Amino acid sequence: MTTTPAIDPRELRHAFGRFGTGVTVVTTRNDEGEAHGATVSAFTAVSLDPPLAQVTLMRGSKLADYAGGRPFAINILSHAQQDTCLHFAGHPMKGGPAWGSSTTGVPVLAGNAATLECRPWNVYDGGDHLIVVGEVAALEIAPVPPLLFFGGKFHHLGGLVGGAPWDYCGDGHGAQFTPLREFASV
């Protein structure tokens, strides 16, 4: 019988930290209708058709309780928003964050590199986290550099590296979206 060696959670966190990410703050409303948010680095684009994005929220957090079944916004922070990031990570900033205007009524931050306003799509079990998928209902993009995070520290966007940009994946980019529920009868 083979056993899998135990993974040290600190080493795993360190390994995850070797993947550079953007920084987001996910915002929604609490039970009293007030704006609530948290800094979240686990954000992923899921689908263009339908337009889906996901965030991974710590199970048992207030944000996970609120965002699971309510509209939410994914605020992709700009390089100028490091204080805002820290505010929503538990280090309150003097005067609080700057709030922007929303198309859908969900609370959004001002000064973002991009903002995705989402309707709830689905929530999945992710171990000690919940994987929350939202359907993008509105978006805004600003021509400002993003705030980046790598190795436990903030970074800025550097110079270009060789290669060419692309519009679609080379693995069947013309495929049509077919919901999984249609495969249930197969």
pLDDT one-digit tens code per residue, 133-184:
999 999 999 999 999 998 888 888 887 777 666 665 555 555 555 555 544 4
Q: State residue 185's pLDDT score.
A: 43
CATH 2.60.40.10, domain 9-157+176-183, yes or no: no
Q: State residue 186's pLDDT score.
A: 39
Q: State residue 10's pLDDT score.
A: 86
Q: State residue 154's pLDDT score.
A: 86
**Contact criterion met (CB below 8 Å) for 66 and 132:** no
- Helix locations, the chain, DSSP H: 9-16, 62-67, 82-88
Nearest CA to 22 among 108, 113, 84, 99? 113
Please tell me whether residue 145 adopts helix, strand or coil conformation: coil
Residue ranges of the chain with per-residue pLDDT less than 50: 182-186
Q: State residue 180's pLDDT score.
A: 58
